[in-house]
Amino acid sequence: MESWYDILPNFSFNVRKHICQQAQPPTETPPCSACSFILDTERNPYAGGQNTVFALRDHAGKEICMRIQHSPTEGSSYVLEKEVNFRKAIESAGVSGFQKVIGCATRGNDLIPAPFITLE
């Protein structure tokens, strides 16, 4: 069965554009040439379980993890929302060692048509 990232035209462009848009300071015309995939994840993303994972570096130099659900189900949005809430609670408590949540779209957005989380 094909997944959404196998058939979506300009997928890597959309991922780079999303990463560029969330970076601080923002650029006028995302994606900029400085936002790029790292660890060869543009061609060989990490995949397993329910997610496809891309590693990128934004134009501010931050290394970003974008975890996109590759076969979302009815419960995917609920599970992702709960994870984000747990991660934010952990961050608020000052527990170290966890990636910071930068963004999340429990139902996807106009660039990425599946639930995803973006982590620093």
pLDDT tens string 77-110:
899 999 999 999 999 999 988 899 988 999 888 8
Q: What is the mean pLDDT of residues 44-67?
A: 88
**Residue 90 is part of which domain span?**
4-119
Q: Is the pLDDT of residue 5 over 80?
A: no
Number of domains composing the chain:
1
pTM value is 0.81
Looking at residue 32, what is its pLDDT? 73
Please provide the size of the chain in residues: 120
> 8 falls in which pLDDT band (50, 70, 90)?
low
What is the CATH classification number for the domain harbouring 41?
3.30.200.20
Looking at residue 1, what is its pLDDT? 46
Q: Which residues pair with 103 in a beta bridge?
A: 118
Q: What is the CA radius of gyration of the chain?
A: 14
Mean pLDDT of the chain: 84
1 or 62, greater pLDDT: 62
Q: How far is CA 118 from CA 2, 7, 49, 50, 55, in A?
A: 23, 22, 17, 15, 10
pLDDT, tens digit, for every residue of 10-41? 778 888 887 877 777 777 776 777 788 899 88
